[in-house]
A and B are shown apart, each in its own frame.
Chain A
Amino acid sequence: MSDILIRANNLSVHFPLRGLGFGERPVVRACEGINIEIEKGSFFGLVGESGSGKTTLGRAMLKAAPISHGEVLYDDGEVNYSLGDIGKNELKDYRTRAQLIFQDPYAALSPRMTVRDIIAEPLEVMGLTSSREETDARVREIAAMCRLNLEHLRRFPHAFSGGQRQRISIARALVSGPRFIVADESVAALDVSIQADVLNLLNKIQQESGITFLFISHDLSVIAHTCDFVAVMYLGQIVESAPTRKLFSETSHPYTRALLSAIPSLDPDVRGNAQKLEGEIPSPINPPPGCRFNTRCPHAQERCRSEVPEWRELSSGHHVACHFAEELS
């Protein structure tokens, strides 16, 4: 079991909203009963649409979102923490081991700091270096890894394009030497021709330093190309997870299938696809009873509307939460 870097057991993240004054306070059930295991050194993909809770899950694994039920366990061989009840000092240490890369390259960098200061900030705040020279050396080392040269370090964020800013964000996440990085929609805001560049950089970093990545995206094709393992989320729950190849060749959950068929094909002669999903994503405040996908599933039966499907293993490494997974595949 020491292969698993971080795992979530029955994790739920709920956000209470302001109530109307009477009756029960409405709660946003952003994540419900999540079970995942991320192996050390892997590139784990988390895919879902809006309202799926993928961002919340990523943040919960960094203790940047409250853990309402269940647990998140981190074990990198040196330390192990249970994030639900982590102490202040342990949390500080955890922060040196787990970092986040944001989606919006324009909002994630403080506009009034030079690139050198932005990248150096984690080192200075967490006291990881003892002198300015040491900090500078480390900054230069990481900047070079992200293809930022010395000139760039003196400039301010406004001088850079989206792709370059994202590289600065990546450099900032790397500088403290983390074992675990959550990349939250890190390429979504980038132009297509630059996306590939940033994805290649992340892959290279992963191969060279063995960092474990949790890659969150709504774009299945991007996930397919970069990740070893994929989990699909819908309305706060993981509906299917498998190694990448298997997910595409042995798709079991109806939602995964719908996601795949909704991706517009680059072949103009392949038009009019099989399965179009009707309806809208329900609200996470009042999710449907039973299987949360039943309102839109083309194969929904009575059982789906009342019974929550079990999270079970179809084959090695391939889990799914659907009553009829075997019949449908």
Chain B
Amino acid sequence: MSKPLISVENLTLSFKTDEGLVTAVNNVSFELAPGEVLGLVGESGSGKSVTAKSLMMLNAENSVYTKDSKITLNIDDRDYDVLSLKRPAEQKIIRGGAISMIFQEPMASFAPAITIGEQMVEQLMIHSTMTRNEARDISIEMLTRVGIPEPAQRFGQYAFEFSGGMRQRAMIAMALSTKPRLLIADEPTTALDVTIQAQVIDLMKDLVEEFHMSILFITHDLGVIAQTADRVAVMYLGNLVETGTVRQVINSPAHPYTRGLLNSLPKLDDLDAPLTPVPGDIPSPLDRPSGCVFHTRCVESGDIAERCRTEIPITTIGSDNHRVDCHLASKGGAA
């Protein structure tokens, strides 16, 4: 077994706000192997974006990490302790070097007054020793690779001259030009039309194969996850409630939240089935529930409801490495 590319252990992160210390991520641990696509699924307030940004140390200045939190990046057999990288020179490796990120809103990610080409070249020149011309050639090649027609011409255009889908492709091109080992994709297709989304997902899957890179795919759309991910991690209110392969999580979900989420989705193959939402509302992060973080909305707790309210569940690891944080699972013994 080769070492994982990224190893996150006990990541706990809070933000200092006017209303007090707000916990955004609570004791999250997971691993990402080279060449693997890990889907990070959660709704608003789940902490998925914050977790991803921690990998690149992009969280705001009022963020507070606990001492136990540890993120390890392993490149070419060398370990980097991400959370201890303080100086910009050290941080280069996680910001655009070995790790790249693409965002939901491509219009907001490109500087409006500089051409796309200029920004791609700038990125390349920061992370490598190539000349301007070499960088330009590589950038145009990447633009072709992501399926942008007339790339040489597009190279000199500005962000507003691209349509939504094209901008997203250009962003992928820019992110991949430094040949990162890990691509973090934060809701990359949420703002796109569904036909364009399908194109972009296909593109990403092809690139994973070609570049042998890993993707941390963050989204709330379980359908997209089912089509792209190898493994899935489900987050709720800052906690990681379930992790497993995509078949495990989608076909035999172990956590009541995952089950609730899957049940609330309208499915095209059964138009008569009623839509069953997860009852209640997501609690405010200022008001984190005691015990199991999901207990306020769980319909399956039954007679152990008291336990769910007071005790934090420990992770149950199933035989096939299907992990879940739930008293019901631990009650039932090893899966």
Residue B264 at the chain A interface, CB threshold 8 Å: yes
In the bound complex, CA of A260 to CA of B198 (Å) = 11
Give the residue name and chain of the B residue nearest to A261 (CB): B198
* B282: A residues at CB distance < 8 A: 161, 191, 193
Give the residue name and chain of the B residue nearest to A221 (CB): B266
**Contact residues, B26-81 vs A (CB, 8 A):** 43-44
Contact A259 B246 (CB under 8 A): no
What does DSSP make chain B's interface, helix, strand, loop or mixed? helix
Give the residue name and chain of the A residue nearest to B270 (CB): A225
Query: Knowing A196-B276, A268-B246, A277-B199 touch, does A163 contact B281 (C-beta < 8 A)?
Result: yes
Give the residue name and chain of the A residue nearest to B191 (CB): A50
Contact among A162, A218, A226 with B194 in the assembled complex (CB-CB below 8 Å): A218
Q: Distance (Å) between the CB of A290 and the closest chain B CB?
A: 20
What does DSSP make chain A's interface, helix, strand, loop or mixed? helix
Q: Mark B175-202, 1 if CB is under 8 A from A, else 0.
A: 0000000000000000001111111011
Contact among B163, B202, B227, B266 with A280 in the assembled complex (CB-CB below 8 Å): B163
Contact B271 A266 (CB under 8 A): no
Residue B255 at the chain A interface, CB threshold 8 Å: no
**Contact residues, A265-307 vs B (CB, 8 A):** 265-269, 271, 273, 276-278, 280-281
* A199: B residues at CB distance < 8 A: 266, 275
Of B164, B201, B220, B264, most buried by chain A (CB within 10 Å of CB) is B264
* B251: A residues at CB distance < 8 A: 268
Q: Distance (Å) between the CB of B146 and the closest chain A CB?
A: 14
Q: Mark B259-274, 1 if CB is under 8 A from A, else 0.
A: 0111011111001011
- Number of residue pairs A-B, CB distance < 8 angstroms: 125
Contact B164 A259 (CB under 8 A): no
* A196: B residues at CB distance < 8 A: 264-266, 275-278
Q: Mark B188-229, 1 if CB is under 8 A from A, else 0.
A: 000001111111011000000000000000001111101100
Contact among A245, A268, A278 with B247 in the assembled complex (CB-CB below 8 Å): A268
* A221: B residues at CB distance < 8 A: 265-268
Residue B305 at the chain A interface, CB threshold 8 Å: no
Q: How many residues of B contact A (CB 8 A)?
A: 44
Contact A259 B194 (CB under 8 A): yes
Query: Knowing A191-B44, A192-B43, A199-B275 touch, does A264 contact B220 (C-beta < 8 A)?
Result: no
**Contact residues, B101-137 vs A (CB, 8 A):** none
Q: Distance (Å) between the CB of A78 and the closest chain B CB?
A: 33
In the bound complex, CA of A268 to CA of B249 (Å) = 10
* B260: A residues at CB distance < 8 A: 193
* A244: B residues at CB distance < 8 A: 271
- What 5 A-B pairs have minimum CB-CB distances, sorted nearest first? A196-B277, A264-B223, A49-B193, A197-B277, A193-B278
User: 20 A-B Cβ contacts within 8 A?
Assistant: A49-B194, A49-B195, A50-B164, A191-B220, A193-B277, A194-B281, A196-B275, A199-B275, A200-B277, A218-B194, A225-B266, A225-B271, A225-B275, A262-B197, A263-B223, A264-B198, A264-B224, A264-B227, A266-B226, A268-B250
- B-side residues, CB < 8 A to A, are 43-44, 163-166, 193-199, 201-202, 220-224, 226-227, 246-247, 250-251, 260-262, 264-268, 271, 273-278, 281-282, 284
